[in-house]
């Protein structure tokens, strides 16, 4: 979907509806691009990473000039929805992988508090977003199973 088309689609919404529709649009567009490039196969980590990296500037352009309640909301949507993509495909965000590598290196060096030493704001943001996405996915799964049992 082109940026202008996406902006027009979201321009009719405000407040909470704008947030929900922006999240939905980001998910749909990301999934569409991943499936298009995967050619019916399970997508690789590299493919997902390239689509995620391509979607960030796309969403920033789409979110520009829309009536958000919070100026940083577009970045938050990008971060949260990106984490959902990684969790959906059962893969780890490369920023988390980078943190793990740095933490191992600090452990091997014998650094006091190696995990804290290796932690950066980007890795903390990625870890937090992935945890929330994983919790949300599991909550949705449990709720769906509960509804099936009640029927």
- The answer to whether the beta carbons of residues 51 and 100 sit under 8 Å apart is no
Q: Which of 16-25, 64-73, 80-89 is predicted with the least confidence, judged by mean pLDDT? A: 64-73
Chain segment 111-120, per-residue pLDDT in tens:
999 999 999 9
pTM score above 0.85: no
Q: Structure tokens of 104?
A: 């191992």
- The answer to whether the beta carbons of residues 118 and 67 sit under 8 Å apart is no
Chain segment 38-70, per-residue pLDDT in tens:
998 999 999 999 999 999 999 988 888 788 767
- Residues 45, 90: Cα–Cα separation, whole Å: 10
């Amino acid at each position: 979907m082109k940026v202008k088309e996406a902006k027009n689609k979201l321009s009719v919404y405000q407040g909470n509806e704008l947030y929900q529709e922006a999240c939905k649009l980001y998910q749909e567009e990301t999934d569409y691009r991943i499936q298009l490039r995967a050619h019916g196969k399970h997508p690789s980590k590299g493919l997902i990473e390239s689509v995620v990296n391509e979607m960030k500037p796309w969403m920033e352009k789409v979110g520009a000039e829309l009536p958000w309640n919070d100026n940083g909301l577009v970045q938050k949507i990008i971060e949260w929805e990106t984490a959902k993509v990684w969790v959906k495909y059962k893969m780890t965000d490369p920023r988390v992988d980078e943190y793990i590598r740095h933490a191992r290196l600090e452990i091997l060096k014998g650094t006091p508090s190696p995990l804290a030493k290796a932690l950066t704001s980007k890795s903390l943001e990625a870890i937090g977003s992935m945890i929330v996405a994983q919790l949300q996915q599991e909550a949705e799964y449990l709720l769906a199973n509960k509804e099936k049992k009640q029927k």
